[in-house]
Amino acid sequence: MANLISLDSIKPVARAEAMREALESGGCSSSSCGSSDGPTDMDPAVWAKVKDHPCYSEEAHHYFARMHVAVAPACNIQCNYCNRKYDCANESRPGVVSEKLTPEQAMRKVIAVANEVPQLSVLGIAGPGDACYDWRKTKATFDQISQQIPDIKLCLSTNGLALPDHVDEIARMNIDHVTITINMVDPEIGAKIYPWIFHNHRRYEGVEASQILHERQMLGLEMLAARNILVKVNSVMIPGVNDQHLLEVNRVVKAKGAFLHNIMPLISDPAHGTQYGLTGQRGPRAMELKALQDQLADGTKLMRHCRQCRADAVGLLGEDRGQEFNLDLLPEEVAYDPSKRDAYREIVAVERGEHQAHKKGAEAGLAAVEAAPAVLVAIATKGGGRINQHFGHASEFQVFEASPEGISFVGHRKVDQYCQGGWGEDATLDGVIAALEGIDVVLCAKIGDCPKDSLAAAGIEVSDAWPHEWIESGIAAWYLATHRAEVRLSA
């Protein structure tokens, strides 16, 4: 038997209360679901490897941070989207690395960050060149740090050319996470992306170069998968060059054992001086990227929360605290103190349980809606899985798709921060509105009347009715209030 309640005439805060009741009735109780924070469809051994990794688990990225140390400046290939003066675009947004580090300097920096950033769970080496080509420094860095901070996860990113030479050592060093950037499985397409490679003491060009790179990438992927090392494949989406070809890349890497596929948009600002930037090759629009990702929804698990971080990034994905930890700001001697990280992990274990329970409850609430459209919801969040940021303070919005089928994370939109300490620039707001193309509603902790009216004029609703609510609960409350006058509750 079903009960029917009307949400239409209820004010937003009261609606949230009504929603809470609906969710508790429609979903599981928090006490029964709160302790279960692992997905039911994943091998427990795999879940143990990914559950605190902000890149390999979308859920973990709300709670855990990574840091990169820029110890590997040398590279053995040339990508048309890279200018060597800038970070490796495989794993980083173009922008100069503040400082390249020796392994000893990296050690000092990692300990300082681990003492101050309790969310830190992963140490990555992602350039600014290639971590496998510059192997001596990569290995020395990981060896030293894993001795001092044994519970930190080690992660590396590579173009794959030198990878097969180091897979056995990677396995011995307990590196569980390796990213290979694979932009093609057809060397004819590769020749449009890579002008040359340097391999076995010689330089190769054209299709021959891409043929060698392709074979080495496939070999490295197979070797890692055979050793149960989790491989993430990054692909740069280059419209007109490899965009539709990435469907084939996805099929091939999935067959060879990749765990995750991350399709990233080409960044090709002419100011970065890259070949693509200088020749006018454009990157994809946000909706083009989403359309391609949606075509791959049945393939290898897709990563949609990548932030294309710098090779010296520090912090939660989407924030960069690297400048706080420049070497000249750090003491010469620093001893590792695990107390903040230990305390944080205890809190997160509880928070994650609650978050999962509320997410299930929210989805159960949506499932009670009979026929309503899928909508895109942009969330202003500082992390922790909650709607907890003012609209004007956001430098990115997390985007979720909501429908009676459920709520899923589909990406993020970077914006320039609108609020400049009490006032906002119209031009900045125009840029924010453009970045929110296709978004139906923005949920934030607070917004002023002025920007709210401008967004409304552009056809984008904004609501601050659910400040500090769990993201999924806020989305479900808005969705039910907007798309349905009646909610069916189980008796």
| Residues within the interface to ligand CLF (CB under 6 A) | 55, 66, 68, 91, 122, 124, 126, 155, 157, 177, 179, 232, 262, 306-309, 317
Distance in angstroms (rounded) separating the CA atoms of residues 487 and 21: 11
Q: Among ligand CLF, ligand SF4, none, what does residue 262 contact (CB within 5–8 Å per kind)?
A: ligand CLF
**Which residue's CB is nearer to ligand CLF, number 103 or number 406?**
103
* Nearest 10 degrees: Cα torsion 298, 286, 375, 439: 170
Distance in angstroms (rounded) separating the CA atoms of residues 235 and 289: 12
| DSSP code string of 109-166 | HHHHHHHH-TTEEEEEE--BS-TTTTHHHHHHHHHHHHHHSTTSEEEEEE-SSSGGGG
Rounded to a whole number of angstroms, the minimum distance from the CB of residue 177 to ligand SF4 is 18
Q: Among ligand SF4, ligand CLF, none, what does residue 122 contact (CB within 5–8 Å per kind)?
A: ligand CLF
Distance in angstroms (rounded) separating the CA atoms of residues 372 and 51: 33
Q: Which residues pair with 261 in a beta bridge?
A: 233, 302
**Which residue's CB is nearer to ligand CLF, number 94 or number 124?**
124
Q: Among ligand CLF, ligand SF4, none, what does residue 472 contact (CB within 5–8 Å per kind)?
A: none
User: Which one of 70, 79, 379, 387 is in contact with ligand SF4 (CB under 6 A)?
Assistant: 79
Site for ligand SF4 in 80-109 (CB under 6 A): 82, 88-90
The verdict on 75 binding ligand SF4 (CB under 6 A) reads yes
Q: How far is CA 159 from CA 80, 142, 183, 215, in A?
A: 13, 19, 10, 12
Terminal alpha carbon distance of the chain: 6
Site for ligand SF4 in 113-152 (CB under 6 A): 127, 129-130
Number of residues in contact with ligand SF4 under rule CB under 6 A:
12
Distance in angstroms (rounded) separating the CA atoms of residues 220 and 214: 10
**Which residue's CB is nearer to ligand SF4, number 57 or number 83?**
83
Binding piece for ligand SF4, criterion CB under 6 A, among 72-80, 164-172, 345-353, 355-363: 72-80
Rounded to a whole number of angstroms, the minimum distance from the CB of residue 406 to ligand SF4 is 36
Q: Which residues pair with 375 in a beta bridge?
A: 402
For residue 400, what are its two tokens? Answer: 């979720």
Rounded to a whole number of angstroms, the minimum distance from the CB of residue 233 to ligand SF4 is 14
Torsion over CA: 468, 471, 473, 474 (sign): positive
Rounded to a whole number of angstroms, the minimum distance from the CB of residue 124 to ligand SF4 is 14
The verdict on 212 binding ligand SF4 (CB under 6 A) reads no
Would you give the DSSP letter of residue 283?
A: P
**Which residue's CB is nearer to ligand SF4, number 241 or number 471?**
241
Rounded to a whole number of angstroms, the minimum distance from the CB of residue 252 to ligand CLF is 20
- Do 127 and 87 contact (CB within 8 A), yes or no? yes
- Do 424 and 415 contact (CB within 8 A), yes or no? no
The verdict on 366 binding ligand SF4 (CB under 6 A) reads no
φ and ψ at residue 226, rounded to 5 degrees:
-65, -20
> Helices (DSSP H) in 193-338: which residue ranges?
206-226, 245-255, 275-278, 286-295
**Which residue's CB is nearer to ligand CLF, number 212 or number 267?**
267
For residue 126, what are its two tokens? Answer: 């992602």
The verdict on 78 binding ligand SF4 (CB under 6 A) reads yes
Closest residue to ligand SF4 using C-beta atoms: 82
Q: Among ligand CLF, ligand SF4, none, what does residue 66 contact (CB within 5–8 Å per kind)?
A: ligand CLF
CB-CB neighbours of 360 under 10 Å: 19
Strand ranges (E), 404-483: 406-414, 441-443, 461-463
Rounded to a whole number of angstroms, the minimum distance from the CB of residue 58 to ligand CLF is 11
Q: Among ligand SF4, ligand CLF, none, what does residue 69 contact (CB within 5–8 Å per kind)?
A: none
**Which residue's CB is nearer to ligand SF4, number 70 or number 460?**
70
Rounded to a whole number of angstroms, the minimum distance from the CB of residue 487 to ligand SF4 is 50
**Which residue's CB is nearer to ligand SF4, number 15 or number 93?**
93
Q: How far is CA 395 from CA 205, 242, 331, 413, in A?
A: 40, 29, 31, 9
**Which residue's CB is nearer to ligand CLF, number 155 or number 380?**
155
For residue 322, what are its two tokens? Answer: 């690297």
Rounded to a whole number of angstroms, the minimum distance from the CB of residue 369 to ligand CLF is 33
Q: Which residues pair with 203 in a beta bridge?
A: 198
**Which residue's CB is nearer to ligand CLF, number 235 or number 463?**
235
Binding piece for ligand SF4, criterion CB under 6 A, among 78-86, 96-104, 322-330, 439-447: 78-86
Rounded to a whole number of angstroms, the minimum distance from the CB of residue 303 to ligand SF4 is 18
Rounded to a whole number of angstroms, the minimum distance from the CB of residue 267 to ligand CLF is 11
Rounded to a whole number of angstroms, the minimum distance from the CB of residue 97 to ligand SF4 is 11
Rounded to a whole number of angstroms, the minimum distance from the CB of residue 456 to ligand CLF is 33
- Do 471 and 400 contact (CB within 8 A), yes or no? yes
For Cα atoms 163, 164, 168, give the angle at the middle one, nearest 5 degrees.
100
The verdict on 77 binding ligand SF4 (CB under 6 A) reads yes
Chain contacts with ligand SF4 (rule: CB under 6 A):
75, 77-79, 82, 88-90, 127, 129-130, 159
